[in-house]
C-alpha cells in the first residue's frame, strides 16, 4: 500500500532530557494526526524503561541545586517563562489546534488559563512561608517549614495540551522540585515547546524533562524509585490505576479522572441566557472538556422552552477546521473516538431517548478525512440509559426532566462522577441551597463551566479525583511540598532536660 506523502516525510520527535533534545532508545512510536485533515504530521516515540530512567536521573541530578536556590530566584525564572508564554501565545495555540483540533480562539483561551497558574506560582516566596511561635515552652520556640519532595512526574491527557501540564509543573518547580512530564502521545508538541521556553527563561538543565509514550512509559514512571510524586489527569479507569499503582510504591499521588457534569435549570432562570451559556459548555471544544456540561437537568416548566432554545442555537453552530474563520467547533481527536461518540447517539435512540438534533450526518466539504461530528441534542433522557451513565466526551447534550430542585440535587449526588456542576436561577435561596447540598468539587452559580482561577484549587470528588489534594492553588503547593516542624531550645548550662518521662515544654 502506498503511504501518503505526509507520512513518508514526517520526523520522529526527540525527548527533552537535561536541557536538550535526546533521541529515544525505544523503537516503538506512534503517529501524530491532524484531526481536521486526517493527515499524519509527526511521529512520537513510545519510551521504554531505559528512556524514562534517563529522564528521571537527569531530574535527580538537577534537584539539589534547584532545591537550594532561593524561592525568589525560582520565581524570577517563572516570571521570564510567563513573558515567553505570553509572547508565543499564538504559536502555542496553533500547535494545539494542529494536533487537538479545537478552534484557535478556544486554544488561545486555554493557554491564557495556563499562564494564570504560572502567575500564581510566581508568588512562591510568600506561598511557602512557614509559621513561628516563640516561647511554646520556657525557652522553647517552634517553627514550621515546607520542603520540596524531589523528582515529580506529570502524566497528562489529550484535551488540554498546554493548560493541564501548566496546572502541575509551574507549582512543582516553584516549590523546588524537578519534573518529568509525559504528555498525551496524541498532542506532544506543545510540551516540547514549553521545555524550550523554560530553558530560554533561564531554568537550569535537567530541572524540567519531557518523555513520550503510552502505558509502558507511564508504568516505568509509576515504578521508578526516584519519582516521589505523580500528578495525573485523564480518564477515570486510568486515574484509578495510577492512584493504586503509585500509592503502592509509596509515592504521593493526585489523579484527576473523568466527568459527567450536570447543569440544573430552574423555572425562574433566564432561558435565553442559560441556553447561550450551555452552547459553549456543551459543544465548546467539541465536548472534549472535563468540565463540559453533558447533562442538563430541567426542573418543572423550564424544560420545553429550554429544549426549543437549545435546538435552535445548536443547529446554527459553525463546525469545521479549528483554524477556519469564525468556527464554533472543530473535529474530534481521532476517527475511532468520533465513531464511538456517533455510536452513543445510535444507542440513545435505541434506548428510547428523543433525538431532537442529530449531528451524525455532518459533512465538512474539503475535509472529508477529518473527524467531524455535528452537535446532537437528546430530550427525555433517563438515568438508566447508557448516554447518561457513560462519559461520552463529545458534542452530545442530554436533557433530563425532573419536578423539583431536590430531585435534581439527588440525581447529581447519586452520579459516580463529581467534577463540576452548575445551577441557573434568579433565586439566591435556591442557589445557596444548591451550593450547600451538592456533593461535587466545583460549582457554578449562573456560571456554566466553573473552572477555578489559578489561586484557588481545581479538582472533583468521587470518581473524578483519586487522592486528597486538588491541583494548583494552595492545595498544589501542599501537594508538592512536605511539612517539617522544628522545636528548638538553646539551653544554658542550668536548664538541660533530664529524665525519661514524656517531655513537656512548660
Q: Given candidates 238, 264, 345, 402, which one binds ligand NAD under the rule CB under 6 A?
A: 238
Greatest pairwise CA separation for the chain in angstroms: 90
Q: Given candidates 88, 97, 110, 159, which one binds ligand NAD under the rule CB under 6 A?
A: 159
Cα atoms found within 13 Å of the Cα of residue 498, Cβ hemisphere only: 4
Q: Which three cell numbers stand for residue 494?
A: 542550668
Q: How far is the CB of 51 from ligand NAD (least distance, A)?
A: 14
140 φ/ψ sector (left φ>0, alpha ψ -120 to 50, else beta): beta
Q: Which is nearer to ligand NAD, 146 or 456 (CB)?
A: 456
Q: Please, is 69 exposed, middle or buried when counting C-beta atoms within 10 Å of its C-beta (0-12, 13-18, 19+)?
A: middle
Q: Which is nearer to ligand NAD, 374 or 420 (CB)?
A: 420
Q: How far is C-alpha 253 from the chain's CA centre? A: 15
Q: How far is the CB of 260 from ligand NAD (least distance, A)?
A: 9
Write the CA distances from 36 to 144, 193, 356, 371, integer angstroms: 53, 22, 26, 6
Q: Given candidates 122, 290, 399, 402, which one binds ligand NAD under the rule CB under 6 A?
A: 290
| Contacts with 354 (C-beta within 8 Å, 6 or more apart), sequence order | 378, 379, 380
Residue 446 and residue 426: Cα distance in Å, rounded? 9
Q: How far is the CB of 212 from ligand NAD (least distance, A)?
A: 9
Q: Which is nearer to ligand NAD, 290 or 295 (CB)?
A: 290
Applying the rule CB under 6 A, the residues between 439 and 478 that interact with ligand NAD are 460, 464
Q: Which stretch binds ligand NAD (CB under 6 A): 212-220, 223-231, 338-346, 498-506?
A: 212-220
Residue 150 engages ligand NAD in binding (rule: CB under 6 A) = no
Q: How far is C-alpha 173 from the chain's CA centre? A: 18
Q: How far is the CB of 488 from ligand NAD (least distance, A)?
A: 42
Question: Helix, strand, or coil here: 135?
Answer: strand
Write the CA distances from 226 to 21, 53, 209, 230, integer angstroms: 22, 9, 14, 11
Q: Given candidates 63, 120, 158, 208, which one binds ligand NAD under the rule CB under 6 A?
A: 158
Smallest CA-to-CA distance from 179 within 161, 163, 167 is with 167
Q: Which is nearer to ligand NAD, 259 or 423 (CB)?
A: 259
398 annotated active-site: no
Residue 17 engages ligand NAD in binding (rule: CB under 6 A) = no
Question: Helix, strand, or coil here: 265?
Answer: strand
Residue 394 engages ligand NAD in binding (rule: CB under 6 A) = no
Q: Which is nearer to ligand NAD, 88 or 159 (CB)?
A: 159
Which residues contact ligand NAD (rule: CB under 6 A)? 155-160, 164, 182, 184-185, 214-215, 218, 233-235, 238, 256-259, 290, 391, 393, 419, 460, 464
The residues that are catalytic are: 290
Amino acid at each position: 500500500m502506498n503511504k501518503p506523502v505526509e507520512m513518508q516525510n514526517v520526523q520522529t520527535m526527540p525527548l527533552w532530557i537535561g536541557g536538550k533534545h535526546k533521541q529515544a532508545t525505544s523503537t516503538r512510536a506512534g503517529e501524530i494526526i491532524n484531526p481536521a485533515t486526517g493527515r499524519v504530521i509527526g511521529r512520537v516515540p513510545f519510551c521504554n524503561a531505559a528512556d524514562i530512567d534517563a529522564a528521571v536521573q537527569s531530574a535527580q541530578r538537577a534537584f539539589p541545586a534547584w532545591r537550594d536556590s532561593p524561592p525568589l530566584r525560582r520565581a524570577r525564572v517563572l516570571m521570564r517563562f510567563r513573558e515567553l508564554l505570553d509572547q508565543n501565545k499564538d504559536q502555542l495555540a496553533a500547535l494545539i489546534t494542529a494536533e487537538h483540533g479545537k478552534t484557535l480562539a478556544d486554544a488561545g483561551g486555554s493557554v491564557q488559563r495556563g499562564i494564570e497558574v504560572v502567575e500564581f506560582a510566581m508568588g512562591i516566596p510568600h506561598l511557602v512561608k512557614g509559621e513561628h511561635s516563640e516561647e511554646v515552652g520556657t525557652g522553647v520556640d517552634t517553627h514550621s517549614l515546607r520542603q520540596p519532595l524531589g523528582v515529580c512526574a506529570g502524566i497528562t491527557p489529550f484535551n488540554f495540551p498546554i493548560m493541564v501540564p501548566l496546572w502541575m509543573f509551574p507549582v512543582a518547580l516553584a516549590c523546588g522540585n524537578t519534573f518529568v512530564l509525559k504528555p498525551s502521545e496524541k498532542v506532544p508538541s506543545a510540551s516540547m515547546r514549553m521545555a524550550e521556553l523554560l530553558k530560554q527563561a533561564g531554568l537550569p538543565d535537567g530541572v524540567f524533562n519531557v518523555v513520550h509514550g503510552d502505558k509502558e512509559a507511564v508504568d516505568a514512571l509509576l515504578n521508578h524509585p526516584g519519582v516521589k510524586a505523580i500528578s495525573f489527569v485523564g480518564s477515570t479507569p486510568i486515574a484509578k490505576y495510577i492512584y493504586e499503582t503509585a500509592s503502592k510504591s509509596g509515592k504521593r499521588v493526585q489523579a484527576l479522572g473523568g466527568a459527567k457534569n450536570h447543569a440544573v435549570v430552574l423555572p425562574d432562570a433566564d432561558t435565553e441566557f442559560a441556553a447561550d451559556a450551555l452552547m459553549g459548555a456543551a459543544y465548546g471544544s467539541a465536548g472534549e472538556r472535563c468540565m463540559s456540561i453533558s447533562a442538563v437537568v430541567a426542573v418543572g416548566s423550564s424544560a420545553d422552552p429550554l429544549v426549543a432554545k437549545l435546538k435552535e442555537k445548536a443547529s446554527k453552530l459553525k463546525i469545521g477546521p479549528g483554524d477556519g474563520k469564525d468556527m464554533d467547533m472543530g473535529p474530534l481527536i481521532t476517527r475511532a473516538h468520533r465513531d464511538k461518540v456517533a455510536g452513543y447517539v445510535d444507542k440513545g435512540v435505541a434506548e428510547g431517548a428523543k433525538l431532537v438534533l442529530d449531528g451524525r450526518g455532518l459533512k465538512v466539504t474539503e475535509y472529508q478525512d477529518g473527524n467531524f461530528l455535528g452537535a446532537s441534542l437528546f430530550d427525555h433522557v433517563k438515568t438508566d440509559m447508557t448516554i447518561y451513565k457513560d462519559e461520552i466526551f463529545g458534542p452530545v447534550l442530554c436533557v433530563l426532566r425532573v419536578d423539583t430542585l431536590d430531585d435534581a440535587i439527588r440525581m447529581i449526588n447519586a452520579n459516580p462522577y463529581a467534577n463540576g456542576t452548575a445551577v441557573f436561577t434568579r433565586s439566591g435561596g435556591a442557589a445557596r441551597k444548591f451550593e450547600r447540598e451538592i456533593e461535587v468539587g466545583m460549582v457554578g452559580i449562573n456560571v456554566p463551566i466553573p473552572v477555578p482561577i489559578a489561586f484557588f484549587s481545581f479538582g472533583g470528588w468521587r470518581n473524578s479525583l483519586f487522592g486528597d489534594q486538588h491541583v494548583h492553588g494552595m492545595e498544589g503547593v501542599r501537594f508538592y511540598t512536605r511539612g517539617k516542624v522544628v522545636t528548638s531550645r538553646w539551653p544554658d548550662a542550668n536548664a538541660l532536660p533530664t529524665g525519661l518521662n514524656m517531655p513537656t515544654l512548660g
